[in-house]
């Protein structure tokens, strides 16, 4: 069975500070992993994806994530938060279908 | 590439009426399309999976007679909410999966906000 756990439903950071959003997965085989961002009343925008190539994946808007098989994690990071990063973030694992985490709401404090 | 559109983006309807939402893959053929529902401040919940020319497969707890899904072509799937009630108000998102080259990826539409009064 597949599942995704996002630790921390709400994360607040100061503008310019490091952003760290946590995602752990359970999968019997190496999965395909995704991070999406969702702004209010909008659809999902793909930030980055892991497809069993490089374990450190760089995405859009300065985000990156590292696949760690030993920790079954795929945490999302950004070195310096910007006000425009305030949004909802979803981690997902894909096999035949997508399994989404519960989401993390990121607040950026000026 | 890999653009998915939804129409309408926003709809208000009266209780008891039916509403149809279209999902189109604009630049690829989608062998499989998915319909999700999202309540405020919550994650996406998969409602059903549809393959072109086949009956949709509904997730447990989703009323197939209420949420009619038709996947008539490789670029179009429709979701019809029949006899809508206020509790059906939600954000509906579709996604499309190409059969090739990536069978593991889905491309998401921008969503449709349904409000039932």
pLDDT category at B7 given cuts 50, 70, 90 is: very high
Q: Do residues B58 and B64 touch, judged by C-beta distance below 8 A?
A: yes
Closest CB from A41, A103, A105 relative to B113:
A41
- pLDDT at site A1: 62
DSSP per residue, chain B: ---EEEE-SEEEE-TT--EEEEEEESSS-EEEEEEEEE-TTS-EEEEEEEETTSPPEEPTT--TTTEEEEEEETTEEEEEE-S--GGG-EEEEEEEEESSS-SS--EE---EEEEE-
Strand B57-58 to strand B30-38: parallel, antiparallel, or no bridges (unpaired)? unpaired
Closest CB from B34, B46, B109 relative to A43:
B109
Distance (Å, rounded) from C-alpha B75 to C-alpha A66? Answer: 34
| pLDDT, mean over chain A | 92
What would the pLDDT profile of B15-63 be if each residue is shown by its tens digit? 999 999 999 999 999 989 999 999 988 999 999 999 888 889 999 999 9
What would the pLDDT profile of A42-75 be if each residue is shown by its tens digit? 899 999 999 877 889 999 999 999 999 899 999 9
Rounded to a whole number, what is the distance in Å from the CA of B110 to chain A's nearest CA? Answer: 4
Instruction: Report the candidate in B14, B2, B10, B16 with the shortest Cα–Cα distance to residue B66.
Output: B16
Task: Label each residue of A28-80 as H, E or C.
Answer: CCCCEEEEEEECCCCCEEEEEEECCCCCEEECHHHCEEEEEHHHCEEEEEECC
Across residues B58-87, what is the average pLDDT? 94
pLDDT category at A98 given cuts 50, 70, 90 is: confident
Question: Which of B6, B21, B44, B115 to mutate against chain A (most A CBs within 10 Å)?
Answer: B44
Q: Which two tokens stand for residue A51?
A: 């497809």
Q: Is the pLDDT of residue B73 over 80?
A: yes
Within 8 A of B46 by CB-CB distance, chain A residues are 97-98
Q: Do residues A88 and A27 touch, judged by C-beta distance below 8 A?
A: no
- Torsion sign (Cα): B71, B73, A91, B7: negative
Inter-chain contact A43–B104, Cβ cutoff 8 Å? no
- pLDDT at site B100: 62
């Amino acid at each position: 069975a597949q599942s995704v756990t996002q630790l921390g439903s709400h994360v607040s950071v100061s503008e310019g500070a490091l952003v760290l959003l946590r995602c752990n997965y359970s999968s019997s085989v190496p999965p395909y992993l995704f991070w999406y961002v969702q702004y209010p009343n909008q659809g999902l925008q793909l930030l980055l994806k892991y497809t069993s190539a490089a374990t450190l994946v760089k995405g859009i808007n300065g985000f990156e994530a590292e696949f760690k098989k030993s920790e079954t994690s795929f945490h999302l990071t950004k070195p310096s938060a910007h006000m425009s990063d305030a949004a909802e973030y979803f981690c997902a694992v894909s096999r035949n279908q997508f399994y989404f985490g519960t989401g993390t709401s990121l607040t950026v404090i000026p | 590439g890999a653009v998915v559109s939804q129409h309408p983006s926003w709809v208000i309807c009266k209780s008891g009426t039916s509403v149809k939402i279209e999902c189109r893959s604009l630049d690829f053929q989608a062998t499989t399309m998915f319909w999700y529902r999202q309540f405020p401040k919550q994650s996406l919940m998969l409602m059903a999976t549809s393959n072109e020319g086949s009956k949709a497969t509904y997730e447990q707890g989703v009323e197939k007679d209420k949420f009619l899904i038709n996947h008539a072509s490789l670029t179009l799937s429709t979701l019809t909410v029949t006899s809508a009630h206020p509790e059906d108000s939600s954000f509906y998102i579709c996604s499309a999966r190409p059969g090739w080259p990536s069978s593991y990826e889905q491309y998401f539409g921008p969503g449709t906000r349904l409000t039932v009064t």
